[in-house]
Chain A
Amino acid sequence: MLTGMLSVAANTFRETIRNKILYAILAFALFVIGMTTFLANLSFGDLARVVVDLGLASIHLFGVVMAVFIGITLVSQEIDRKTVYIILSKPVPRWEFVLGKALGLCATLGLITFFMAVVLYLVHAGYRYGQTTEPGIFVAAAGIYMELVLLTCLASFFSTFTTPVLSAIFTLSMFLIGHITRELLFFGGKSGSPAAAWLGKAIYYLLPNLEIFNFKNVAVYGLARSASLLLLPLAYMLSYCAAVLLLACVIFSRKDFK
């Protein structure tokens, strides 16, 4: 059952984990997380909160960079290098290939996000001399991870039919718009023009609402203590990804390799 998908996923995991660019980004992210303690000393307010705030922001930022820039190459690189011919000439349905690629990258991102969260947790605890710890970091990181999964699915979807450059532009636009959909709905309603209101609504429901995964502020104020916060976003993420991947599979199944 699904051996094709799982083998492709395992191979993609191996591919991404052996990707040097990934380590460059990761090293930079860890450097920035380490630097937060230094930055915190320069700012006002509850310094430990600043560590959490900046740390989560860097996990988010670098996670998005990894998800998008590896995500867009997942499928397109296989087509460019024609490795896809070998895989698809084996008894592997095309949809299993698409799902396997996305799953493999999600596994890598999961590992890396978890690793960054652990580092941040330790840095924060160290800053507090171990007196208090902030488990909310893991809740917020899980939220970030769900967003990364969604972006990975979007990037794979775009890369089944456009070039990597366009896929990157589309996915990054989705990322940016995805964080302001609520505002778009709000301003669309405010504008008084029915067309603008309709457009705002269409965007709100069609494009991903990525703010739903944002537990950074909640974590900063020490309120993200329960994983049950994540249930609704999880359901949203799963259904959104299912829809996007379904489209990706349909497009990829009809693809004529030239």
Chain B
Amino acid sequence: MTPPVPVITVENLSKSYPMGFWRKRVPVLSGLSFTVLPNEIVGFLGPNGAGKTTTIKILNHLAFPDSGRVTLFGEEAGKSPNLRRRIGFMPEQPYFYEYLTGREFLALCGRLCGMERDAIVARSREMFDRIGLAGAEDKAIRKYSKGMMQRLGLAQALLHDPELVILDEPMSGLDPMGRMEIRNVIRDLRAAGKTVFFSSHIVSDVEALCDRVIMILKGEKVAEDTVGELMGCEILYVEIVLSPSPPPAVLFGCGIPPEAVSVQGSAVVLRAPDVDEANRWVDLSRAAGARVCSLTPAKRHLEDVYVARVEAGRRDGNR
């Protein structure tokens, strides 16, 4: 079986912006490469100013790279406008024609995508319900709140039922309900066989949603992997709760290091550095008369991995 044609391939993308008085070109992206496969949900992480929006603009042919290549569905990006019919895009902090109502705006988007009038009406109604904007259809966009704009941004990206959806910070500015709704929309897209590529600062959303994560720092990729792989099977520590337990001094006596022991109410909590150590300590403490009440391996959150990578990257950068 031939491998599927990637939906997005980015090869060696570089881009610089002229900055300061001398218009010196400062690199924003340097040699960025990654791929997104069909029906994947890929999260795009990076601190402020890492180059996420720049990359996404290049994917949408709004900005042009200094060098490197972008293909979408195996075709050179920007070659044919028809390619864009297969893509839905929501820009960062979207802003729309404020003199239109939500319904008029979606109608305009539908016409620009070459949709039929009936399809536009039906799809708009569906989108308003799906995206949590029902009731605001005939309100002027001028009167929309930030979160409503964000939702409308998603609605226009999905209106023409694109195969690839690119979202720049879809969750920013949303209340918890809104975030949940958007997470559900993204999950539905996966179920419908679509591909989603989105940037976000909300790492827990990325962790919950994405098949794979691409992390960039100062325009360079620092990680590209599945969420599971990134978070690792690696266990940070194992927490053992003993209750009832002999006094800590007895445990110290059996060879459990004092810094790993803490007393919480009537229970004693041990923090073992790894699984083997945890097993040994369980034996020791049970021999000392303790009852093991729970044993929890603490895994990393994507957030920890992200922070660690960003800090490591910053240290490398400063060296």
Chain A residues engaging chain B, CB cutoff 8 angstroms: 3-4, 7-8, 11, 14-15, 18-19, 81-83, 85-93, 254, 256-258
- Check if A15 sits within 8 Å of B99, measured CB to CB: yes
Which residues from chain A contact B85 at a C-beta distance below 8 Å? 91
CB-based nearest A residue for B89: A89
**Residues 58 to 92 of chain B near chain A (Cβ within 8 Å):** 60-64, 81-85, 87, 89, 91
- Check if B94 sits within 8 Å of A258, measured CB to CB: no
- Check if A85 sits within 8 Å of B91, measured CB to CB: yes
- Check if B111 sits within 8 Å of A3, measured CB to CB: yes
- Check if A82 sits within 8 Å of B91, measured CB to CB: yes
A93 to B112, CA, bound (A): 10
Q: Interface 1/0s, chain B 169-198, versus A by CB < 8 A?
A: 000000000000000000000000000000
CB-based nearest A residue for B88: A89
Besides the known contacts A82-B94, A91-B112, 17 further A-B residue pairs in the complex with CB atoms under 8 A apart: A3-B111, A4-B81, A4-B112, A7-B112, A15-B99, A82-B95, A83-B95, A85-B89, A86-B89, A86-B94, A86-B109, A86-B156, A88-B62, A90-B112, A92-B112, A93-B81, A256-B63
- Check if B17 sits within 8 Å of A83, measured CB to CB: no
Known: A15-B99, A83-B95. A89 touches B113 (CB 8 A): no
How far does the Cβ of B188 sit from chain A's closest Cβ, in whole Å? Answer: 21
- Check if A3 sits within 8 Å of B114, measured CB to CB: yes
- 28 sampled A-B residue pairs with Cβ under 8 A: A3-B114, A7-B112, A11-B97, A11-B108, A14-B99, A14-B100, A15-B99, A82-B91, A82-B95, A83-B96, A85-B62, A85-B89, A85-B91, A86-B96, A88-B62, A89-B60, A89-B62, A90-B112, A91-B81, A91-B84, A91-B85, A91-B113, A91-B114, A92-B81, A93-B81, A256-B63, A257-B57, A258-B17
Which residues from chain B contact A87 at a C-beta distance below 8 Å? 112
Which residues from chain A contact B156 at a C-beta distance below 8 Å? 86
- Name the contact of A85 in the complex, choosing from B17, B60, B111, B113 (C-beta under 8 A): B60
How far does the Cβ of A206 sit from chain B's closest Cβ, in whole Å? Answer: 30
CB-based nearest B residue for A89: B89
- Check if B112 sits within 8 Å of A257, measured CB to CB: no
A3 to B94, CA, bound (A): 24
Sorted from nearest, which 6 A-B pairs have the closest CB atoms? A90-B112, A89-B89, A91-B81, A7-B111, A85-B91, A91-B84
- Name the contact of A83 in the complex, choosing from B62, B83, B97, B111 (C-beta under 8 A): B97
A86 to B88, CA, bound (A): 9
Known: A91-B114, A257-B57. A7 touches B108 (CB 8 A): yes
CB-based nearest A residue for B168: A85
How far does the Cβ of A229 sit from chain B's closest Cβ, in whole Å? Answer: 38
Interface residues on B, range: 20 to 34
Which residues from chain A contact B111 at a C-beta distance below 8 Å? 3, 7
**Best-buried of A4, A89, A93, A257 by chain B (most CB within 10 Å):** A89
Which residues from chain A contact B97 at a C-beta distance below 8 Å? 11, 15, 83
How far does the Cβ of B160 sit from chain A's closest Cβ, in whole Å? Answer: 8
- Check if A90 sits within 8 Å of B91, measured CB to CB: no
- Name the contact of A256 in the complex, choosing from B64, B83, B96, B99 (C-beta under 8 A): B64
How far does the Cβ of B282 sit from chain A's closest Cβ, in whole Å? Answer: 57
Which residues from chain A contact B57 at a C-beta distance below 8 Å? 85, 257
- Name the contact of A257 in the complex, choosing from B63, B83, B96 (C-beta under 8 A): B63
CB-based nearest A residue for B109: A90
A91 to B83, CA, bound (A): 7
**Best-buried of B57, B82, B83, B97 by chain A (most CB within 10 Å):** B97
A136 to B57, CA, bound (A): 53
A227 to B54, CA, bound (A): 53
How far does the Cβ of A26 sit from chain B's closest Cβ, in whole Å? Answer: 17
A91 to B95, CA, bound (A): 19
How far does the Cβ of A82 sit from chain B's closest Cβ, in whole Å? Answer: 5
Known: A11-B108, A18-B99. A89 touches B84 (CB 8 A): yes
A161 to B111, CA, bound (A): 28
Which residues from chain B contact A93 at a C-beta distance below 8 Å? 81
CB-based nearest A residue for B64: A256
CB-based nearest B residue for A84: B62
CB-based nearest A residue for B82: A91
A258 to B15, CA, bound (A): 11
- Check if A257 sits within 8 Å of B81, measured CB to CB: no
A254 to B60, CA, bound (A): 14
How far does the Cβ of B291 sit from chain A's closest Cβ, in whole Å? Answer: 62
A254 to B63, CA, bound (A): 9
A257 to B61, CA, bound (A): 9
A82 to B91, CA, bound (A): 9
How far does the Cβ of A249 sit from chain B's closest Cβ, in whole Å? Answer: 14
- Name the contact of B87 in the complex, choosing from A82, A83, A89, A254 (C-beta under 8 A): A89
CB-based nearest A residue for B63: A256
A82 to B56, CA, bound (A): 14
A4 to B82, CA, bound (A): 12
